[in-house]
Structure 1
Amino acid sequence: MSVRVRAAVFPDDLVAVRALVGAYLRQTEAEKAMHGLAVAGAPLPDPYAREVVDPACAFAGMTVLLAETDGAPVGVVVCVDGTDGREVKRLWVDPAVRGTGAGRALLDAVLASSARPVRLTVWRWREPAIRLYRRLGFAEVPSWDDRRDLVCLQLD
């Protein structure tokens, strides 16, 4: 299975980005509820809901990349550039295609075009993702986010 990564184009990719970001946020909220960090079955918090309703507006000025296999979108990454490097804000690959290299392809595309450092946060229980980040050279750094069970990683 070949993976292609490309920049999302709005409005053409609106439906795909909505679906992928929505799946990511719903899964994240469900996992947070299992760990006592959110209320099970609650609607998405407003800032997250806005990302699903209008990702073009919510991610304005950010880099949004899509991973595709056979022309179908299977993953998304959203990054924001700042004066101190780049931060990965969202990274999601459809569970049905995990292990095919789509997540790695998205991260490779981000890293190929990024000033350093590149940083991200990940929930402590997402061990496969943490392993991937560590394989790519990310290291745990002191937290810049006060949410419990969130690991901060950085690649210099």
Structure 2
Amino acid sequence: MTEPREVVIVRRPGHALSAPDGLAELLAAYHLRTQEEKGEAVAGVDGLPDRYRAEITDPQVAFARDEVLLASIGGTAVGCLVVAAPVDGRSEVKRLWTAPEFRGLGIARRLVGAALAHAEESGLRAVRLSVWQWRAGAIALYERLGFTVTGSWDERDRLVCMERSV
């Protein structure tokens, strides 16, 4: 049996996702918070842009080619991270989220560590990510884990692009 504070990371390829695992709720919280931080708050999931709503309503289709990492404590999903299918020897980390009531337990660090291990096992040369510049805590975490700021591959304003070799 899992101890109450033991964090378990489970890798799930997109085609192996199932609705009751808590991923949809984590993704909804991530996207709603991001919209709020961008100054574009919406009342609920129905107000999100179509592409984000599609991730929440059908993650199996949205992440069919990707690896989804879920962190759980005592069987409750408390964090997630998506490792996008590799392109040009690199994978991309997306949708890193830890439920607010479980922050400070090293969950995000463990999720990113699992993503890096997956990239290494897959023979990739690098992992990249983008993060909103106002998420200073996330940027500091990525820097502690060896990511450095790199040229942008994304046109959106206020986005910091980072990369790390594996």
TM-score normalised by L of structure 1? 0.91
8 Å Cα contact 1:14-1:56 kept in structure 2: no
Structure 2 gaps, min length 5? none
> Which of these residues, 66, 77, 83, is aligned with residue 73 of structure 1?
77
8 Å Cα contact 2:21-2:77 kept in structure 1: no
Q: Residues 14, 82 of structure 1: CA spacing in aligned structure 2 closer, same or farther, 3 A cutoff?
A: farther
> Which of these residues, 132, 139, 153, is aligned with residue 130 of structure 1?
139
8 Å Cα contact 1:117-1:154 kept in structure 2: yes
In structure 2, distance between residues paired with 1:109 and 1:48: 24
Alignment partner, residue 36 of structure 1: none
Any idea what the Cα deviations from partners look like across 1:14-67, whole Å, max 9, x if unmatched?
Answer: 45110001110110011011xxxxx33271100001001101111101000100
8 Å Cα contact 2:32-2:42 kept in structure 1: no
Task: State the shift of 1:90 in Å.
Answer: 1.2
SS at match of 1:24: helix
More divergent stretch after superposition (63-72 vs 77-86): 77-86
Structural mapping, 1:51-130, within 5 Å: 51-80=55-84, 81-114=86-119, 115-130=124-139
> Which of these residues, 10, 17, 29, is aligned with residue 10 of structure 1?
17
Structure 1 gaps, min length 5? 34-38
CA RMSD of aligned residues (A): 1.3
Taking only the aligned residue pairs, the percentage that are identical comes to 43
In structure 1, distance between residues paired with 2:128 and 2:20: 26
8 Å Cα contact 2:80-2:98 kept in structure 1: yes
Which amino acid in the other structure matches residue 76 of structure 1?
C
In structure 1, distance between residues paired with 2:125 and 2:103: 27
Which amino acid in the other structure matches residue 140 of structure 1?
V
Which amino acid in the other structure matches residue 138 of structure 2?
A
Runs of 4+ deviating beyond 6 Å: none
8 Å Cα contact 2:91-2:128 kept in structure 1: yes
8 Å Cα contact 1:86-1:118 kept in structure 2: yes
- Figure out how many residues of one structure are paired with residues of the other and give that number: 150
